[in-house]
Structure 1
Amino acid sequence: MTSTTTSPAVTTGTGRSATAVDTLRFATAGSVDDGKSTLVGRLLHDSKSVLADQLEAVERASASRGQDTPDLALLTDGLRAEREQGITIDVAYRYFATPRRRFILADTPGHVQYTRNMVTGASTAELTVILVDARNGVVEQTRRHAAIAALLRVPHVVLAVNKMDLVDYAEPVFTEVAAEFVQYATELGVPEITAIPISALAGDNVVEPSANMDWYGGPTVLEHLETVPVGDDAAEAPPRFPVQYVIRHDGVRHYAGQLVSGTLRVGDEVTVLPSGRTSTITAIDVLGRKETAACAPQSLTLCLADEIDIARGDLIVPTAAAPLTTQDVEADVCHLADRPLRNGDRVLLRHTTRTVRAIVKDLHGADELTANDLGRVTLRTAEPLALDPYSEVRRTGSFLLIDPADGATLTAGMAR
Structure 2
Amino acid sequence: MSGSTGRWAGPSATALLRFATAGSVDDGKSTLVGRLLYDSKSVLTDQWEAVERASRHRGQDAPDLALLTDGLRAEREQGITIDVAYRYFATARRRFILADTPGHVQYTRNMVTGASTAELALVLVDARHGVVEQTRRHATIAALLRVPHLVLAVNKMDLAGYEARVFARIAEEFTAYATELGVPEVTAIPISALVGDNVVEPSANMDWYGGPTVLEHLETVPVSHDLTGCHARLPVQYVIRPRTAEHPDYRGYAGQIAAGAFRVGQEVTVLPSGATSRISGIDVLGEAVGEARAPQSVTLLLEDDIDVARGDLLVPSGDGPVARRDVEATVCHVADAPLAVGQRVLLKHTTRTVRAIVAEIRSRLVLDGIVAHPEPGQLVANDIGRVRIRTAEPLAVDAYADSRRTGSFLLIDPADGTTLAAGMAGPAFGAAVTG
TM interval, short-chain normalised: over 0.9
CA–CA separation in structure 1 for the residues paired with 2:42 and 2:299: 38
341, 349, 352: which one aligns with 1:351: 349
Paired residue for 1:184?
Answer: 177
134, 150, 153: which one aligns with 1:157: 150
What 5-or-longer segments of structure 2 have no aligned partner? 363-374, 427-435
1:235 is displaced (CA, Å) by: 2.8
Contact kept, 8 Å, 2:125 with 2:152, in 1: the verdict is yes
Structure-1-length-normalised TM-score: 0.95
CA–CA separation in structure 1 for the residues paired with 2:38 and 2:359: 50
The answer to whether residue 400 in structure 2 is matched with residue 390 in structure 1 is yes
The answer to whether residue 330 in structure 2 is matched with residue 332 in structure 1 is yes
Contact kept, 8 Å, 2:2 with 2:188, in 1: the verdict is no
CA–CA separation in structure 2 for the residues paired with 1:211 and 1:289: 57
Contact kept, 8 Å, 1:4 with 1:196, in 2: the verdict is no
Q: Secondary structure at the match of 2:183?
A: coil
Paired residue for 1:301?
Answer: 299
Query: Structure 2 matches for 1:9-48, cutoff 5 A?
Result: 14=11, 17-18=12-13, 22-48=15-41
125, 128, 137: which one aligns with 1:135: 128
Identity %: 74
Query: Structure 2 matches for 1:7-406, cutoff 5 A?
Result: 14=11, 17-18=12-13, 22-232=15-225, 234-249=227-242, 250=247, 251-364=249-362, 365-406=375-416
Contact kept, 8 Å, 1:284 with 1:291, in 2: the verdict is yes
Amino acid at match of 2:94: R
Aligned-CA RMSD value: 1.6
Contact kept, 8 Å, 1:4 with 1:194, in 2: the verdict is no
1:66 is displaced (CA, Å) by: 2.9
1:279 is displaced (CA, Å) by: 0.8
The answer to whether residue 412 in structure 2 is matched with residue 414 in structure 1 is no
Q: Report which stretch shifted further, 186-195 or 131-140.
A: 186-195
1:315 is displaced (CA, Å) by: 0.2
Structure-2-length-normalised TM-score: 0.91
CA–CA separation in structure 1 for the residues paired with 2:29 and 2:226: 28
1:4 is displaced (CA, Å) by: 6.4
What 5-or-longer segments of structure 1 have no aligned partner? 6-10
Amino acid at match of 1:94: R
Contact kept, 8 Å, 1:330 with 1:415, in 2: the verdict is yes
Poorly superposed stretches of 4+, deviation over 6 Å: none
Contact kept, 8 Å, 1:43 with 1:207, in 2: the verdict is yes
Q: What's the CA shift string for 1:371-398, capped at 9, x where partnerless?
A: 1111010111111000100001110110
Q: Secondary structure at the match of 1:320?
A: coil
How many pairs align? 407
Change (3 A) 1:362 1:12: farther
1:168 is displaced (CA, Å) by: 1.1
CA–CA separation in structure 2 for the residues paired with 1:284 and 1:351: 24
1:13 is displaced (CA, Å) by: 5.1
1:170 is displaced (CA, Å) by: 0.6
1:292 is displaced (CA, Å) by: 1.7
CA–CA separation in structure 1 for the residues paired with 2:205 and 2:47: 30
Paired residue for 1:8?
Answer: none
CA–CA separation in structure 2 for the residues paired with 1:281 and 1:215: 60
Contact kept, 8 Å, 1:154 with 1:190, in 2: the verdict is no
Contact kept, 8 Å, 1:161 with 1:198, in 2: the verdict is yes
CA–CA separation in structure 1 for the residues paired with 2:228 and 2:203: 38
1:189 is displaced (CA, Å) by: 0.7
1:287 is displaced (CA, Å) by: 2.2
CA–CA separation in structure 2 for the residues paired with 1:402 and 1:148: 21
Paired residue for 2:367?
Answer: none
